[in-house]
Amino acid sequence: MKQIDIAALIDLDRYPLDRPDRPAYRDLVARCQAELAQDGLFNLEGFLREDARTACVDAVMPRFAKQSFRHARRHNIYFRKDIPELPDDHPALQQVETVNHTLCGDVVEDTAVTEIYEWLPFAAFLADVMEKPALYPMDDALSRLNVMAYRAGEALNWHFDRSEFTTTLLLQAPQEGGGFEYARNLRRDDDPNYAGVTDLLTGKLTPTQMHVTPGTLNVFRGKNTAHRVTPVAGDIERVITVFTFYEHPGAQFSDTEKMGFYGRTS
């Protein structure tokens, strides 16, 4: 098995994921749990060391030209064709556009983001923060982690996540735009709050804005919190890694999901 110097990638002095038996680790977990409870997210600024971040950006950027999949789609905030209890012209179902360029996990196996993803204490830390028995990497070469780029005029538009939480690592910020906005707890499992969704989409509800620096790890609860990334402007792309973990081993996306997200199944 390849030996990696994880300390050259992650700032373990600030974020001691390698020392789960130490008070500093327990303090970090408690801090992240408190921020999740209060804000629905937490950020670990400078999680990825600058040299490792720069090397990762240098490695992935040339690959977007030939090895990425341009994923463009029009959708509503639910990513569903219809909602049975709503008419097709309901303002909560207005169409928005999302465009990004995706590098699948099998294209970035030699980079720092894959080494971090496969480092077992990383998943163990996330499980501790989320108070889960364990979290496991996906058994899916394409879907386990993705590196996504957003170019000028492109955005990740309003949506709710399918999963309970998402874990991302910002590799490069754009010159302008590309800001993260969210409306926390806009709906509940027992209340879709279509009126609130309408207010958000029509500009009557002002979302919260969050700006993070490259190298920041973010964990975000987005199942009931609407969120988006605003359109990028300028020549510098927004580049971000999305890590996917499950509470059971062996998870995979279906072939239909892979075709939709990546344009291929293997």
> What is the per-residue pLDDT across 63-92, written as a single tens digit (0 to 9) for each?
999 999 999 999 999 999 889 999 999 999
Report whether 49 contacts 215 (CB < 8 A).
yes
pLDDT at 230: 97
Q: Is the pLDDT of residue 252 over 50?
A: yes
In angstroms, the CA 134 to CA 131 distance is: 9
In 3D space, the residue among 161, 119, 160, 149 whose CA is nearest the CA of residue 17 turns out to be: 119
- 58, two tokens: 């240098």
pLDDT at 106: 97
| Alpha helices (H) in the chain, listed in sequence order | 23-39, 50-60, 63-67, 112-118, 120-130, 194-201, 255-262
Confidence class of residue 235 from pLDDT cuts 50, 70 and 90?
very high
Q: Is the pLDDT of residue 1 over 50?
A: no
pLDDT at 71: 94
Q: Is the pLDDT of residue 223 over 90?
A: yes
Report whether 207 contacts 184 (CB < 8 A).
no
> What is the per-residue pLDDT across 40-68, written as a single tens digit (0 to 9) for each?
999 999 999 999 999 999 999 999 999 99
Domains of the chain: 6-261 (2.60.120.620)
Summary mean pLDDT of the chain: 96
pLDDT at 82: 87
In angstroms, the CA 5 to CA 49 distance is: 12
- Phi/psi for 245 (5° steps) reads -125, 155
Report whether 140 contacts 154 (CB < 8 A).
no
Confidence class of residue 2 from pLDDT cuts 50, 70 and 90?
low
- Phi/psi for 233 (5° steps) reads -130, 150
Q: Indicate the residue type of 249.
A: P
Residues 6+ apart with CB under 8 A from 42: 31, 32, 35, 36, 129, 218, 219
The C-alpha torsion from 71 through 112 and 20 to 12, rounded to 10°, is -120
Residues 139-143, mean pLDDT to the nearest whole number: 96
- Name the packing angle between helices 120-130 and 23-39 (round to 10°): 50
Q: Is 82 helix (H, G, I), strand (E, B) or coil?
A: coil
Task: Output 29 or 81, whichever has higher pLDDT.
Answer: 29
